[in-house]
Amino acid sequence: MKRFADLYRELDESTATGDKRAALIAYFRDAPPRDAVWALYLLSGGKLTGARQKIAGTNELRAWIAQVSATPDWLVDDSYDHVGDLAETLALLLDDPTDPPPDLGLAEWIEERLLPVANQDEAVRRAVVVDAWQSLPYGQRLVFNKLLTGALRVGVSQRLVQQALAEMSGIDISRIAQRMLGTWAPTPQFLQDLLSEEALPSDRQQPYPFFLASPLEADVQTLGEIGDWRLEWKWDGIRLQLIRRHGEVALWSRGEERLDGRFPEIEQAAATLARDCVIDGELMAWRDGEDAPMPFTALQTRIQRRKPGAKTLADTPARVLAYDLLELDGEDLRERPLDERRALLAGLLEAHGDPRIVVSQQVQADSWEAAAQLRKGSRERGVEGLMLKRGSSIYQGGRKRGDWWKWKIDPLTIDAVLIYAQAGHGRRSTLYTDYTFALWDGDALVPVAKAYSGLDDSEIMKLDSWIRAHTTERFGPVRAVTPHHVFELGFEAVNLSKRHKSGVATRFPRILRWRHDKPMAEADRLEDLKALAR
């Protein structure tokens, strides 16, 4: 555990990406494979606990630390409120052992101590946790607690971890990223395969790393001649790769989740393709004969059903709008120009002739001014703006600026009242940075959106101080505050929704500005938001 705790401390204390990468390289180079693969799993977002695997709940941890440290429950709660991070609070409430036992590796702690007691009686789980608290020094105790709480956030992205592995091993980062897609078990064999220089059979079962467009913030005229670019509508659906290899079909979302079974009509259509291929596109809910797709909320009903019934399939039929071809008959096409890939894609799908998988429409404009006029009508079309892709671009992995841009329309806005606040995560775990906002419905304020981005550091500090002084109730980690402050929120779309108490769901809400000039009584009404819904 000491080696991993030292890595955690280095990563937490460093602000330079290069230093973080160097620390990761040193760790993966020197750590035993069993420890290294668990570190990879945890730093990539994996967790030991979940709905089906309980080691210790937060209430149990608070009760146990109160008993072991002889600290009153109220003081434990007060300490947590002050520190803002439960794992750190638990670590601080105990002294270091005077005679610590021999060090155990990360894998031993996880595989031989923690996982075997998951879901057992409280007494069994408590004994293991308390023994660890009493035997580990502070740095290791902190990391141990973070394993229990699932809050191992240390300012390291999965991409940075992959960069470190690529630099250490000499394996291309795109191959490493591809092998890490989907669900994998943290075993030494997985780590060996991940860093293998040989092509593996499993490589052909995985999607390619997605190429992500960057937001266009500069004047579109700076991109040069419009003839060098290919324009498409920016669809509001689920980005996916459709894979047909050796007669088998798989659907992978950008979130690295297989969607098999949820969209059987797409799988059926893909199975009849004449050639093996990997298609990049957007999954939409779209009825035949309609000019625009259904709202994203309709698609969400499909995501939640692993085996949709006949009524669901009829009410929300799915369609793939394909806009890139990454592989054809086993040949990787990503290094070919976009125009060439699109031509092959069009030929493949035209020969297929199935309306459930079609080529995404390219938008024709002879000038940037003409493109801007078309973009203004995006919302009426059910799209978020335009995608701009250089015709000569290759298909890269990740978010690489320069060749693919998303030129989105201005967001919809409302003025809403802050009613709830919750502490953030990671470096913001001691500040209230996650907010819930409400609109007027008659004389009542009804929650409509949650947002956590958009304020600068000075505004966050000022609002945090106000929240602490104006808390009216507490619901676990959430504080209700005196309704007073108004904020302008931006969002991409509004959909009517039976799943929300307000009857509406906003897409990607964020804070645009703090409306010091507007009194609470003049905030917008729920009916104003519903009027914007599709």
Domains of the chain by start residue, with CATH: 2-149 (1.10.3260.10), 211-408 (3.30.470.30), 412-530 (2.40.50.140)
Residue-wise pLDDT for 317-369, tens only, equals: 999 999 999 999 989 999 999 999 999 999 999 999 999 999 998 999 999 99
Q: How far is CA 397 from CA 15, 212, 401, 408, in A?
A: 25, 7, 11, 22
Alpha helices in 377-446 (DSSP H): 378-381
- Give the mean pLDDT of 230-256: 89
Residue-wise burial string across 43-70, b where 16 or more C-beta atoms lie within 10 A, e elsewhere: bbeeebbeeeeebbeeebbbbbbbebbe
- Residue 166, CB-side half-sphere exposure with 13 Å CA sphere: 15
Q: How many CB atoms lie within 10 A of CB 24?
A: 25
Residue of 292, 497, 491, 282 lying closest to 377 (CA atoms): 292
Distance (Å, whole) CA 36 – CA 26: 11
Which residues on neighbouring strands pair with residue 480, listed in sequence order?
A: 420, 473
pLDDT at 428: 66
Q: Retrieve residue 296's tokens.
A: 């994203």
- Give the mean pLDDT of 431-453: 92
Task: Spot the catalytic one: 234, 376, 408, 450.
Answer: 234
The answer on pLDDT for 426 being more than 60 is no
For residue 238, give the amino acid letter. Answer: I
Alpha helices in 31-157 (DSSP H): 33-43, 58-69, 73-83, 86-92, 106-108, 122-135, 138-149
Contacts of 32 (CB under 8 A, 6+ apart): 105, 107
Distance (Å, whole) CA 299 – CA 304: 9
234 flagged as catalytic: yes
Which string of DSSP letters, residue by residue, matches 76-103? HHHHHHHH--HHHHHHHTSPPPSSPPPP
Distance (Å, whole) CA 361 – CA 355: 13
Alpha helices in 170-253 (DSSP H): 173-179, 188-194
Is the C-alpha dihedral spanning 3, 9, 14, 15 positive or negative? positive
- Give the mean pLDDT of 224-243: 94
Name the average pLDDT for the chain: 90
Residue-wise pLDDT for 455-471, tens only, equals: 888 999 999 999 999 99
For the chain, give the percent of residues with pLDDT over 70: 98
In whole angstroms, how large is the CA radius of gyration of the chain? 26
Residue in the structure block whose two tokens are 């700076």: 222
Residue-wise pLDDT for 174-201, tens only, equals: 788 878 877 789 999 999 999 998 878 7
Which of residues 429 and 211 earns the better pLDDT score? 211
Which residues on neighbouring strands pair with residue 408, listed in sequence order?
A: 385
pLDDT at 531: 85
Distance (Å, whole) CA 109 – CA 1: 8
The answer to whether the predicted template modeling score (pTM) of the entire model surpasses 0.75 is no
pLDDT at 279: 97
Which of residues 80 and 415 earns the better pLDDT score? 415
